[in-house]
Structure 1
Amino acid sequence: MRKRLSAKVSVAPFHVGVVLTPGFSLMAFASTVEPLRGANLIQGDVLYRWSHLSPEGGMVASGGRLEVKTQPLPKPADADLDMIVVCGGMGSDSYRHPKLTAFLRQMMRRDVMIGSVSTASFILAEAGLLDHRRCTVHWDYIEAFQEAFPQIDVINELFVIDGNVFTCAGGTAAMDVMLQFIRQRQGDLFASQVSDQFIYGTIRQPRDAQRMTLRNRLGVSQPALVKAIEIMESAVEAPLRSPDIARRVGVSTRQLERLFTRYLSCTPSQHYIRLRLEKARKLLRHSTLSVLEVGVASGFTSASHFARAYRQHFKRVPSADRTPETVPFLAEEREGPPRRKPRS
C-alpha cells in the first residue's frame, strides 16, 4: 500500500517553510515552490503560503550564485509551519548547522511534516530523522550516502514518503512530490491542472527512474552491449574479467570486443575502468572515505595502480578531487567542526 503524506485540512493557508542551505539547487527550489504558486493561481485564492528560511537568516547563495533573502529559523514554539522542506545542493552532504539540526528534531516531535530535496537527505540523516525509514537522494550521491549511513535504507527512486517524512531526489522530482501532495489535498483533477500550468505532462510516480535508461544514455540499443555494461555497472567493487562478462551475455570474448569497438570506440576493459574511475571520483567528492578506501571501493587492489589510472584519466591526482573547487563556501565549512566519519 502506498504511504501517504498526512496533512491537517484547515481553512487557513497551508504553510510551507523552505529551508535554504548554501549552494542550494535553483531547479529543486523552484520545483518546490512553483507548484504551490500554481495551485493558488488556479484556485483564485491562497491555498498555500511559503517562507524562505535559513539558520541565521539573511541572503543565501544558490549553486548558481543567485541569492535569496531568508528569515531566521523561528522558535519551535512560535513556528506556525505545516511542512518543512530542506532544499539542498552541492555541499549539502557536508553542511551541518546545530540550529538547523535542533530545529528539525523539535519540529519532528511536534509531528510537522519534514522533507528534503536533492542532497538535503544527508542533513535529515545526520539529524536522525531517517533512522528506521526508507529514503532517497540524488542518484549521483547514492553511493556516498550508503557509505556514510550504512544503517539507513536508501533506494534509487524519485521520491520516498515514509510516514511524516519524505525525501526527494531533487531537480524536477521536487515538482512530482509537491504535485503528489497537492493531489492528496485537492484531488487528481486539480493536481493535473497545476501540472498543465507548467507544461509538465504526466505526474511521475515515486518508483519512476531518476536517470534515463542505459540505452538512452549511451545512444545505443544493441542488446548484448547494453547487457554487458549493466553487468559492469553492478560489479564495480569486484570487477569481472571480459571472458566472464561475455559468457554471461552469451557472446564470445572476441564478439564482445567488436561490439565495444563498433559502438563506443573503446575496448571492454577501457570502458570498465572508466566506470570504476567515475565511481571513485564521486566517492572522493561526496564521502569522507580515505583515498585508499575509495580505490578499494572502486575495484583497485593497489594504491599505486589506482593513483596512476586516476591521473591518466582525469589529469590530476585523486586527492585533488577531495572537494569540488567550484564550491568555495566548503572551504569556510572546514574551519568549523570536523567533517563526519562514516558510521560503523
Structure 2
Amino acid sequence: MSDQSPASTLLDLLVVPETNLILVASVIEPLRVANRVSGLELYRWRIFSPDGQPIETKSQIPIPVEGAFRPDADSAPLFVLSSHNWRRYATSGLKMQIARAARHRTMMAGIESGSWLLADTALLDNFSATTHWEDYEEFAAAYPQIRAVRERFVIDGKRITTGGSLPTLDLMLELIRRRHGYSLALEVSRQFIYEQGGVSGEATAMPSTGSIRLADPRVSQAMRVMEEYIEQPLPLVRLARRVGVSERRLQSLFTAAIGVPPHVHYLALRLNAARRKVIETRLAFADVAAATGFNSASAFARSYRAHFRESPSETRRRLKFSGAGTGSG
C-alpha cells in the first residue's frame, strides 16, 4: 500500500486581515474531510499572515498562523485569501512578495477578494478570472487586461479565482475530483450535506461535487432512486423508466449535469457506502459486498481496489495500525 499511496499535496494559504472565517474554512475543511474519509493524508496546509501575527477575522475569532509570509522558492500552490478592505492591506511590500512567490509556485489562487490582490499584482493579466458578485463590475472595469467572467470559480491554467465562500467550497470539491476522482469528491460533498447554490431545494436532492448544476429534476430524481437502491442496484433501463426517460436520454442528462454517466455516479455511491462499512464496522467483506449490491466478495474486492488502490483488508489493517477512524463531520 505504501508504494501506491498518492503523494500528499501541500497548500500554502496567505490570509489577509479581515478575512471571513467561513472563507478560510471553505478552503481547509474539504481537505480535512478528504483526509478523513480516505484514511490518508492526501492534503496538508500551512497558514501565513502578512506580518506573522494571528489573523483577526471579521468574526473576531483569530486564526493562528505558521508565521509571516515570505516569497521563498517553494513550489506549493499559494492561495491568497481576502474578504473586506483588501486595499488597506495591499501594500507595495506585500504585492512585491506575492509577485516574487508567483515565479516558483505551481499555481496561484485568488480567493474572493484575493482575486483583486492577484490582479493588482498583474498576475491575472490575459487570464480569465472572477470575483465576488458585488464587486464584479468594478473589477471588470479596473482590469480590462483580464477576461472577467461571471462564474462561481474559474480555473485557467495556473490561475484560480473564486467569487465567495460557497463558490470556494465548489472549487475545492472540483480540485479534489480532478486529483483523486469523482468518488472521493462525491463523498466529501456528502459529508457536508452540501447542495450547490443557485438551484432550488426541490430541484436538488443530492450534494454537488463542485461542478454539478442539478437544474434538471430528472437527474435529482434518478439520484434519489439510486440512494434508495444501494443494496439491490437497479439496471439503468429500469432507473430511466422510473424517471420517465429513455436509457440513452438518462445518459445524456447525467453527462450534461455532472460530467459523468449515471453508472459512474451509481458505482461511486455504492463504493463509498462500502468503504464506510469497511472502516466503521467489523462486518465480513462478503456482507459488505451484499449490502452494497455486489454479486460476490471477489467482484466487490476487485472494484474496491480499482477505486481506492487498496483492498478492503488493507484498508482495515492500515487504519488499525494508524489508529485512524471516521466519524461524521
TM norm structure 2: 0.56
Which residue number in structure 2 is paired with residue 271 of structure 1?
A: none
- Go from structure 1 to structure 2 and tell me whether the alpha carbon gap of 1:10 and 1:98 turns closer, same or farther (over 3 Å shift): farther
The partner residue of 1:72 within 68, 74, 98 is: 68
Which residue number in structure 2 is paired with residue 203 of structure 1?
A: 209
The partner residue of 1:16 within 11, 19, 24 is: 11
Which residue number in structure 1 is paired with residue 115 of structure 2?
A: 121
The partner residue of 1:43 within 35, 38, 43 is: 38
* Counterpart Cα distance in 2 of 1:208 and 1:193: 17
CA contact under 8 A between 2:71 and 2:101: conserved in structure 1?
no
The amino acid that maps onto 1:72 is A
Which residue number in structure 2 is paired with residue 246 of structure 1?
A: none
* Counterpart Cα distance in 2 of 1:36 and 1:154: 28
Q: Once the 2 structures are TM-superposed, how far is the Cα of residue 45 of structure 1 from its aligned partner?
A: 1.8
Which residue number in structure 1 is paired with residue 141 of structure 2?
A: 147
3-state secondary structure, aligned to 1:52: strand
Kindly report which structure 2 residues correspond to 1:291-330, keeping only aligned pairs within 5 A, or say none.
none
The amino acid that maps onto 1:95 is Y
Q: CA RMSD in A?
A: 2.3
Between the aligned residues of both structures, percent identity stands at 33
CA contact under 8 A between 1:158 and 1:205: conserved in structure 2?
no
CA contact under 8 A between 1:157 and 1:208: conserved in structure 2?
no
3-state secondary structure, aligned to 1:82: coil
CA contact under 8 A between 2:78 and 2:105: conserved in structure 1?
no
* Counterpart Cα distance in 1 of 2:59 and 2:109: 23
Q: Which has the higher contact order (CA 8 A, sep 6+)?
A: 1
* Counterpart Cα distance in 2 of 1:179 and 1:113: 17
The partner residue of 2:169 within 165, 175, 181 is: 175
CA contact under 8 A between 1:133 and 1:162: conserved in structure 2?
yes
Kindly report which structure 2 residues correspond to 1:51-200, keeping only aligned pairs within 5 A, or say none.
51-70=46-65, 71-77=67-73, 79=74, 81-200=75-194
Q: Once the 2 structures are TM-superposed, how far is the Cα of residue 49 of structure 1 from its aligned partner?
A: 0.7
- Go from structure 1 to structure 2 and tell me whether the alpha carbon gap of 1:133 and 1:28 turns closer, same or farther (over 3 Å shift): same
- Go from structure 1 to structure 2 and tell me whether the alpha carbon gap of 1:208 and 1:134 turns closer, same or farther (over 3 Å shift): farther
Report how many residues are paired: 199
Q: Once the 2 structures are TM-superposed, how far is the Cα of residue 142 of structure 1 from its aligned partner?
A: 0.7
* Counterpart Cα distance in 1 of 2:10 and 2:95: 20
CA contact under 8 A between 1:113 and 1:164: conserved in structure 2?
yes
3-state secondary structure, aligned to 1:51: strand
Per-residue CA deviation, residues 117-141 of structure 1 (Å, 9 max, x unaligned), is 1111110001111000110000001
Q: Once the 2 structures are TM-superposed, how far is the Cα of residue 106 of structure 1 from its aligned partner?
A: 2.5
- Go from structure 1 to structure 2 and tell me whether the alpha carbon gap of 1:208 and 1:111 turns closer, same or farther (over 3 Å shift): farther
- Go from structure 1 to structure 2 and tell me whether the alpha carbon gap of 1:60 and 1:115 turns closer, same or farther (over 3 Å shift): same
- Go from structure 1 to structure 2 and tell me whether the alpha carbon gap of 1:66 and 1:140 turns closer, same or farther (over 3 Å shift): same
- Go from structure 1 to structure 2 and tell me whether the alpha carbon gap of 1:146 and 1:75 turns closer, same or farther (over 3 Å shift): closer
CA contact under 8 A between 2:112 and 2:164: conserved in structure 1?
yes
